Each structure stands twice: as C-alpha cells, then as structure tokens.
Chains A and B, each alone.
Chain A
Amino acid sequence: MPHDQNQSENISRDKLLHAQEDEHIANTISEDDLEKIIQAELGKQEAEVDVELLNACLRLHERIHKALSEWELARSQKKVHTGLIKTLYHKNNAGYTKRIPLRGLAFAASILLIIFGSVWMDRANFSTGSSKDQQQYIVVGIGQNEVGLVRADDIKRDSKSATFSNTKEIAPFLGYDIALPQWLPEDLELQVVTVVTTEQADTVMLTYKNLQGSVIIDVTHYSSREGTGIAFEQDERGKPVVLNSGATVYVADNLNSVWGLYQSKDLDYFIDASGFDERTLIKIFNTIGDN
C-alpha cells in the first residue's frame, strides 16, 4: 500500500515510526506536521488508512499534549476538531455519497477520544486507546516504547488472594478501606468478594446478582502503574460520559453487558452491568463515595 502520498512532504513514514522510540527524532516533528498526517489519514477510505502510521502519530501527538497547559490544550483540541470536520466535509463532498457520514463521524470521535482521552483523565501518567480492531480498550501504565525507570531491587510485595462473603472483610485484609457505590439496583445480592494483591496493585472484585442480571464492581488500587497493561473487551463502541461530580468515565458495550471505567492516577473503578442499561450504570457510578 503506498503510504507517502498524503504525508507531510518532509517526513517519511519510517521517521515517524522510529520517532516513537527516539526522543531526538520525535523532537524534530512538529504538532502541525502530525495533525496534517492525522487528517490526511482520516481523509482516506477506512480500508486505506495506514493504521500503524496513524497510531504512531496519535501517540506522538498525545506525548506533546501531556506537556501542554490547560489553555494550550483547549486551543489545540479546537484546532484538531476543526481540521477533522473540514476533512470530513471535503470527503463528503467528493461526489460519491450524499449520506450523513456517520461512520466517518464515529471514526473521528474515537480518534479525538484516543488523542485527548488520557489527557482528560487527570493528565495521569498512563495512556489509553482502542486496539486496532477496536475490540479492546487498552490502558498502559507507561506507554509502550516510553521509558519508565524502575529500581530493580525495589521492595517486593507478596502476592496473596482471598474470597469473602461480605464487604466488611476487605479493609482488614488490605489494611485500608475502599469507597463503594451507595446505590445498586433493587434486590441485587452480593455473591462473592475476591481480593488479589500483586507487586503492582490491589484488586477488589465484587459480584452482585438478582433475577434481572448481575453487576461487577472491580476496584484496582495501584502502587505503581509502570509496566502494567490492561485490555478491556468492548464491541467497537465506546464514549466518554461525564458524571455529576464532573469526572469522566469511559463507557462501552461488551456483547451482553455495558461497562464503565473511571481512572485516576492510582485508582481504577470498573463496573460491568449485565441485564441493566447505561442509565443504571451511570447511576451506580454517581453514588461512589456518597455518604
């Protein structure tokens, strides 16, 4: 597949791919050049998009954004958004279709989410985005090909696990308490609590069930996100939803369930609801930490 036709004239595909691993090369590529290439790729038919190149550009773009101020970030978001709308407008007026470009808009929205998703979420030191086939939502502690320095002789935590029948036993096991939702759909009963501690994180998983369906609440507290990668299964559709508190959760479907993920620097709240709708899921999220 020819890759260089729509790229910025001065930057080769190889250079862009290598820039992910070489900070010196990355520093020679401007944000404008990256945005031109991203828009050129988005202007292509979906089957012709060079996904590897697009991913490289998005990662480099994201890296630049992590160093931006809020004002610079807002300005850049607007610029990319305008560029994408222009690209889609030109694509739609190319003469081959008069339909509303829903697929294109969805594609652009997911690109915007990939570009700004991790920046929106507390500007934390991890990166997020969908897998190439958009079937997994990927969260990586330190982005692949970036360097996270770790002391090899760091304290090694013992791994241990346990299952409980109630939430009261979580705090004594972990040595600290975790905030749980204060509201759940009627008649949901706690089936089991599973707690696993590893070198990187403590994971608490609560499974509730009733006749209508089930709800899983999965809380992970990280001592370090470095070197951790998580793949959340999804079926191509994901979107950010803002909670009452102003925090953003990423919401997606996974065949027979809907799930949401809230992330801060050290904490993940993942809730999966089978047999319940998105409104119920968001209602549960909105009561986390309520007293």
Chain B
Amino acid sequence: MKKYKLLAILLMIIGLSTAVAHGAVRASEIIYASTAALGASKTATFMVKTKVSCNQLGTTKYTLYKKGGTKVAAGILNDYGSGSLHASSVNLSPFIQSGNSYYVAAYFYADGETSSATSGTISY
C-alpha cells in the first residue's frame, strides 16, 4: 500500500512540475515568425507569418530607436489582413537623419496571439 501512495505522490509531483513548466512556455500555436526590417530607403517593413490561416493578422504598433536606445518615433499601425502572411510598411524618412544609426521594434497580432521583433541597426 505504501508503494502505491509513493507512486501517487510521485505522479502528482511530475504532473505539477509539468504543468509549471508548460505554464512557462510562451511559444505560439498560431504565429511561427515575425520580421522587422529597416531599409536603405528609410522604410520599415513588418511581417507576421502563421501556421494556420487567420481571420485577422498584422502589425499593431512600432517604435523607431536611435542606436543606443533613444526613442525617436512611435506609431500605432493596426494594419491587418487575413491569411497566413501579412506585410506592412511605414515610411520613416521624416525621423531618420543622415549620420545616425537606427533600429525599429514592432508588435504583431494574429487571431488572439501576439509577437514582437526587432530589426538590425542601420547607419544612414
């Protein structure tokens, strides 16, 4: 009888630890990748890609930073479409000055799930 009790306790511990571990997982059932890119033309391109076809997916907002982390500009895009891939672009040339380096961060939405991506730094 003691053995069964011990087994039950062990199973409970395993179950609880699995639940805790699973709770820490933030990976997505819908989104598989998101992209933020800052181009030579000073246009930022954002893309969200999903494993399943979505009714609503797209970019919610973005922030442009100067190298070092100073916030230069931010905007709410709320540019959405449907399907498995959605791309948005924003002209950031009014905020980008020659001689400086910048990067952009973006936030994405796809049928209830969210994600984010940060571009690489580019010098102009």
Residues of A at the B interface (CB closer than 8 Å) are 21, 126, 133, 135-136, 138, 140-154, 156, 159, 161, 163, 192, 194, 196, 198-201, 203, 205, 207, 214, 216, 218, 224-236, 253-257, 259, 270, 272, 274
Contacts and interface: CB of A to CB of B under 8 A. Distances in A.
Contacts of A138: 118
A138 B31 CA distance: 14
B1 interface: no
Interface in B1-59: 24-29, 31-43, 45, 47, 49, 51-53
Contacts of A133: 26
22 contacts: A21-B68, A140-B120, A141-B120, A144-B118, A146-B120, A147-B121, A152-B40, A156-B41, A159-B45, A159-B87, A161-B87, A198-B47, A199-B39, A199-B41, A203-B85, A224-B40, A228-B36, A229-B119, A230-B35, A232-B33, A233-B115, A235-B27
B49 A205 contact: yes
B89 A159 contact: yes
B122 interface: yes
A227 B122 contact: yes
Nearest to A137: B33
Interface of B, helix, strand, loop or mixed by DSSP: strand
Contacts of A256: 29, 51
B121 A145 contact: yes
Contacts of B60: none
B29 A148 contact: no
Q: Which of B32, B52, B89, B124 neighbours the largest number of chain A CB atoms within 10 Å of its CB?
A: B32
Given A142-B121, A152-B124, A205-B85, A274 B51 contact: yes
A199 B43 contact: yes
A224 B85 CA distance: 21
Q: Which of A126, A199, A253 neighbours the largest number of chain B CB atoms within 10 Å of its CB?
A: A199
Contacts of B27: 135, 233-236, 253-255
A227 B39 contact: yes
B97 to A, nearest CB: 10
A145 B40 contact: no
Q: Which of B39, B41, B43 neighbours the largest number of chain A CB atoms within 10 Å of its CB?
A: B39
Contacts of B32: 216, 218, 232-233, 254, 257, 259, 270, 272
A225 B25 CA distance: 29
B52 to A, nearest CB: 8
A2 B32 CA distance: 37
Given A196-B47, A205-B84, 16 more contacts: A133-B26, A138-B118, A141-B120, A143-B121, A150-B123, A151-B40, A194-B83, A194-B84, A199-B45, A225-B120, A227-B39, A227-B103, A231-B117, A255-B25, A270-B33, A272-B51
A236 B25 contact: yes
B95 to A, nearest CB: 13
A216 B49 CA distance: 10
B114 to A, nearest CB: 11
Nearest to A257: B51
Interface in B60-118: 67-68, 83-85, 87, 89, 98, 101, 103, 115-118
Contacts of B37: 141, 198-201, 227-229
A233 B25 contact: no
A255 B30 CA distance: 9
Q: Which of B41, B53, B67, B98 neighbours the largest number of chain A CB atoms within 10 Å of its CB?
A: B41
A212 to B, nearest CB: 15
A218 B85 CA distance: 11
B41 to A, nearest CB: 4
Contacts of A142: 120-122
A229 B36 contact: yes
A214 B84 CA distance: 13
Given A135-B26, A196-B47, A274-B51, A227 B121 contact: yes
